[in-house]
Amino acid sequence: MASKMLQFVSEAKAMPDKRKAATRKADFDEIYADFSAQSAETQAARCSQCGVPFCQVNCPLHNNIPDWLMLTAEDRLQEAYEVASATNNFPEICGRICPQDRLCEGNCVIEKGFESVTIGAVEKYITETAFDKGWVKPVAPSVELEQSVGIIGAGPAGLAAADQLRRKGYQVVIYDRYDRVGGLLIYGIPGFKLEKDIVQRRADLLAAGGVEFQLNCEIGKDISFAELRARHAAVLIATGVYKARDIQLPGSGLDGVVPALDYLTASNRKSLGDKVADFDSGTLNAEGRDVVVIGGGDTAMDCVRTAVRQKAKSVTCLYRRDRANMPGSQREVENAEEEGVQFEWLSAPRAFDGDGRVESVIAQSIHLGQPDETGRQVPQIIDGSDRRLPADLVIKALGFDAEDLPALFGEKDLTVTRWGTVQIDWQSMMTSMDGVFAAGDIVRGASLVVWGVRDGRDAAVAIDSFIQAEARGENRAAS
C-alpha cells in the first residue's frame, strides 16, 4: 500500500474526545475517550516521517515513534504494538500520563506550524488494542536462569527492570512496603489520568510472567538489606523519593495544611475501595472546602483536579512563577482551568492564618528578576503586596526529596549525594556497594514515570552484564 503518511499538510490535529468539564468533574475516570480506529489511523498518518525524528530524540525511552505511527496508519496494529513495546514496558501508561507536550509532541517537527501528531493518544490506542486483541502476553523466557535479582520498589523503574530481567530468564522478586503494586502509579497519580485497573493489569501480567511480589515488606524492618543481598545475585534499589518538601512559614503547623502525597494517596485508596480514616474524618477530604494548592508541578495539578472532583467549594493554585515558567504540563493547566481551578501566578504564601485550623493563606506577589546561572529568572518578592486568600485546606505540592536510605536500610556503606539520592556509576549503574544497583527517582530525584522506565531498563542491562560477567568469573579477576 502506498504510504499515506505526511498528511499533516491536509489533516488537522484532533485529540480523542475529551469529556466535558462538567461531567468529568463528577468522577475519577479518565477524561479522554479512546480513538476510533479510523481517527487513530488518520492522526497517525499526519506524521512527517522525519529524517531526524525529534520526537524520538526527546523521548527518554527513544521510542521508535515514527515507525509505530506509520504502522498504525497502515492498520498494522500488531506490528505497531511490537515496535512500541520493544522500547517501552508500559506504553499504555506512558501514552496516558507522559507530559507529551514537553517531550515527543512538544518536539514534533510539525508542532510549530501544524500542531503536533497526537503521539500519546496513538500510543495508548495501540496498546489498548493489543490488550483487547490478546496480543499482550505474559513473559515466557526461552531459558530460565538460576540467578535471581531482588528489586526494592514496585514503581515504574522497578517494574520495568523486573520485566526486562524476566525476559532474559532471571528469577525476580520485587519488595514493596505498600500493599499494592505500582508505587506512584497506583497511589500518586489520580484515576482521571490513569485508571487503576490499568496498573493492576500490568501487575497481574508481571506476576503471570513469573515475577514474585513481596508486598507490605519494608527493607530494614521486615527484612534486612544484608539478607536481601545474600538472597540475590544482584539487588536493585528503586524506591522512589517520598519525603515531601516542606515550607516553614507562620502557621505551617495548623490543621488543614497537608502534604500532597498524603492527600493524593488517600483519594486513590478511596477510589480503590479502601477504608481511609483520614479521608473519612475529613482531614484529607476537600469536599465543601476552600482549597489552596501550593506549587506548580504535575503533583500540584493532580491535587487541584482531585480537589475539584471531591467537590471543593473553591480551588486555587498558588505558584511563584508565571504560566510560561511553570514546570508542570501546560495541558494539565488547561484541563484544570476548564474544571474551574483558579491560578494565582507569581504568588507565594507568606503565612497561614487560622485558629487551630487553617482559615486563610496570606499571599505575596512576585516579580521575576534576572536569570540565574541555570537560565531561570529568580523570583523576587514585591514588598507590601500581601493579600489574603480564604483557605480551609492547604495542600503543599512542593516536590519530593529522598528519604535517608542508609539509615532506613541500616547500610552506612551506601553512598548518597548531598541531596540524599543514591549515588551510582552511570556506566555500570552500580552503587557504592558491589552488586547493588539503583534506578529511578532515588537516583535522579523526583522525575517522570518515563524516566523511571528508562532507568529500570538500563539497570536491567547493567545487572545482566554484571551477573553474566560474575558467572564467567570476570568481575573478580578485574577487582
Give me the residues that bind other proteins (CB under 8 A), please: 1-2, 6, 8-9, 48-54, 56-58, 62, 64, 66-67, 70, 74, 76, 79, 82-83, 86, 109-110, 112-114, 142
DSSP string, 434-469: TTEEE-THHHH-S--HHHHHHHHHHHHHHHHHHHHH
Distance CA 153, CA 307 (A): 28
C-alpha–C-alpha distance, residues 104 and 116, integer Å: 9
Judged by beta carbon, residue 83 or residue 429, the one nearer other proteins is 83
DSSP per position, 391-402: -SEEEE---EE-
Residue closer to other proteins (CB basis): 139 or 186: 139
Beta-bridge mates of residue 257: 394
CA 39 to CA 210: how far, in whole Å? 37
* Residue among 19 and 102 whose Cβ is closer to other proteins: 102
Which residue, 57 or 226, is less far from other proteins as judged by CB?
57
The CB-of-75 to other proteins minimum distance in angstroms stands at 9
56 vs 447 by CB, closer to other proteins: 56
How far apart are CB 336 and other proteins at their closest, in Å? Answer: 31
Minimum distance of other proteins from residue 464's CB (angstroms): 13
Cα-Cα-Cα-Cα dihedral of 320, 324, 325, 331, to 10°? 100
Of 114 and 242, which has the nearer Cβ to other proteins? 114
CB 108, min distance to other proteins, A: 9
Our CB check for other proteins shows the closer of 76 and 331 to be 76
Q: HEC profile for 273-337?
A: CCCCHHHHCCCCCCCCCEEEEECCCHHHHHHHHHHHHCCCCEEEEECCCCHHHCCCCHHHHHHHH
Radius of gyration of the CA atoms of the chain, in A: 23
Q: How far is the CB of 135 from other proteins (least distance, A)?
A: 12
Half-sphere exposure of 79 (CA within 13 A, CB side): 11
Closest distance of CB 162 from other proteins, Å: 18
Closest approach, Cβ 7 to other proteins, in A, equals 9
We find the least distance from the C-beta atom of residue 477 to other proteins, in angstroms, to be: 21
Count, residues in the chain:
479
Query: Minimum Å distance from CB 205 to other proteins?
Result: 17
Cell numbers representing residue 453 in the block: 522506565
Cβ proximity to other proteins: between 44 and 174 the closer is 44
CA distances from 17 to 36, 40, 122, 363 (A): 10, 12, 13, 37
| Amino acid letter for position 362 | I
- Nearest CA-CA partner of 115 in 227, 244, 11, 242: 11
3-state SS class at 238: coil
Tell me whether residue 58 or residue 224 sits nearer to other proteins (CB atom).
58
